[in-house]
Amino acid sequence: MTVPTARAAAALDTLREPPTLRNRSSVPGVVEVELTAAPARLRLFPGSPLVNAYAYNGTVPGPTLDVHEGDSVIIHLHNRLPDSTTVHCHGLHFSAHADGSPLDPIAPGQSYDYTFRIPRGWAGTYWYHPHVDKHTTFQVAMGLFGAIIIRAPHDPLAAMRIPEKLLILSDNRFDSTGAIAFPDPQSIQAEIDLENGREGNVLFVNGQVMPAIPIRRNEVQLWRIVNASASRAYRLALAGQSLIHVGSDGGLFERPVEARDILLANSGRAEVLVRGTGTPGSRTVLQDLPYDRYMPQTRPSDWDSTRTLLSLKVTSAPAGPPVEIPPVLRPIPALDTSNVAARRVIVMSQGQIDGKRMDMHRVDLRAYLGTTEIWEVQNVVGMDHPFHLHGLHFQVLDRDGVPEPYRSWIDLVNVPKHSSVRIVVHFEDFPGKWMYHCHILDHEDEGMMGILELLN
Ligand code: C2O
Ligand code: CU
Ligand code: CU
């Protein structure tokens, strides 16, 4: 049996999307869904035998939570795994009891209701994943991740009525029997995984290897891209054409930005518009260009190869009329930095934040609701660390002193090796304990995480 690599695989079939979680409530504005995390026997790549995996409702990726701003959401989680788990809705803004952080594990056999309301202004592309102490990498690698889409009542892209595709990027590693492979804890590979974060050599889009997307000439599609990899960063490019970058973690930018490539650190999201160009029958590929996020001593030897994720095929259908892309998407007011309650420096080193490892019984930072803070997140080591804050979104002020060219709402900022990023964050509501951490899941499991307590 041979394990396919993204490079060897031809376009196998047309992109499929995960099922949407069925809303069992008929009350307008209420979305009530059942989510069961359980072991499953699945075929994870073409030609693969059935192997042991974990899945939400039996699929990898899990089903998509598709909701609107203002909706009240109830997720009935049933944990049928042999381990404790949580469901963390990454990037959402809600009370701490809904966060699914490591402070609130759900034991095997137990159920838990995550209840929250989607605030106005949070339309965008998000995702959910387990967030259990020290075992997040394992559970995500076993197949537990899924997407969340939040829709706005007034959305200039929805008004275009263009086709929309969800692309969940993940990678995994398999042994010679086709089973999901984990290194022996004593091995060199385990040490390399701890350093780099676990990467796999098989790249998936929605659980498929090199699927194809058909597009008509002149057609414009919205792609919502989620990086659900445990640690792989993607530098995304469409060979031969530019991407129109319209949004990031927390939804749309103020204006579309034309980009040759987009760096998507793990757990980051990008919304892009893609136009059908080229002659009927021609095709291009979505590439992952080389990006050196690694420590020199553990950098993979093939780090500088370009990988392919999917193919985009121009159909022979007659060209549609040219589509006009709105020049303005939505306002993103700058957070007010004239009255800042605290300026902090947060130092990320290998496996630690501010020289400490995660302690569930310690509070590392305290801040007050109604205040704004500026955090300088420094990376003092020779590999990138993507910094994530729970329950909130923030804006980047500058990177190594260079002002951010345009504003966006993000919950994840990649801090490249030996560099620093200044972010501004406002605390409005929802007191409680919120995690901040490196989102390379092995680093998070290792304890590269702290607790921010928001106080009234
Ligand atoms: Cu994707 Cu602590 O989160
Ligand atoms: Cu999160
Ligand atoms: Cu890290």
Query: How confident is residue 278, by pLDDT bands cut at 50, 70 and 90?
Result: confident
Closest CA to 428 of 359, 351, 379, 367: 367
Residue 435 CA to ligand 2 centre (angstroms): 8
Which carries the bigger pLDDT value, residue 320 or residue 138? 138
Full strand arrangement of the beta sheet holding 111-117? 50-56, 30-43, 72-79, 111-117
Quick check: 8 pLDDT over 80? no
Residue 138 CA to ligand 1 centre (angstroms): 14
Quick check: 287 pLDDT over 70? yes
Residue 77 CA to ligand 2 centre (angstroms): 18
Q: Please report which ligand is nearest the Cα atom of 229.
A: 1
Asked if 70 and 120 touch (Cβ cutoff 8 Å), the reply is: yes
68: which residues sit within 8 A by CB, 6+ positions away?
118, 150, 151, 152, 153
Percent residues over pLDDT 90 in the chain: 95
pLDDT tens track for 65-96: 999 999 999 999 999 999 999 999 999 999 99
C-alpha 258/C-alpha 262 separation (Å) is 10
Closest CA to 91 of 455, 426, 430, 388: 388
If you average pLDDT over every residue of the chain, what do you get? 96
Query: Can you name the residues that pair with 58 across neighbouring β-strands?
Result: none
pLDDT tens track for 167-184: 999 999 999 999 999 999
pLDDT tens track for 358-413: 999 999 999 999 999 999 999 999 999 999 999 999 999 999 999 999 999 999 99
pLDDT attached to residue 218: 95
Which ligand 1 atom is the nearest neighbour of the CA of 91?
1
C-alpha 249/C-alpha 4 separation (Å) is 31
> What residues pack around ion ligand 3 (CB closer than 5 A)?
385, 438, 440, 443
User: Residue 308 corresponds to which tokens in the numbers above?
Assistant: 């392919």
Quick check: 264 pLDDT over 90? yes
pLDDT attached to residue 46: 84
Query: Can you name the residues that pair with 356 across neighbouring β-strands?
Result: 353
Query: How confident is residue 7, by pLDDT bands cut at 50, 70 and 90?
Result: very low
Closest CA to 388 of 85, 169, 136: 136
pLDDT attached to residue 384: 98
Rounded to whole angstroms, what are the CA distances from 439 to 116, 305, 348, 349?
23, 24, 12, 13
Residue 391 CA to ligand 1 centre (angstroms): 10
Q: What is the CA radius of gyration of the chain?
A: 21
Quick check: 5 pLDDT over 90? no
Query: Can you name the residues that pair with 264 across neighbouring β-strands?
Result: 234
pTM exceeding the 0.85 threshold for the entire prediction: yes
C-alpha 19/C-alpha 394 separation (Å) is 31
pLDDT tens track for 204-235: 999 999 999 999 999 999 999 999 999 999 99
Quick check: 442 pLDDT over 80? yes
Query: How confident is residue 47, by pLDDT bands cut at 50, 70 and 90?
Result: confident
pLDDT tens track for 132-158: 999 999 999 999 999 999 999 999 999
Largest CA distance in the chain: 63
List all residues whose CB is within 6 A of at least one atom of ligand 1: 88, 90, 129, 131, 267, 388, 390, 435, 437, 439
pLDDT attached to residue 320: 85
pLDDT attached to residue 2: 47
Query: How confident is residue 13, by pLDDT bands cut at 50, 70 and 90?
Result: confident
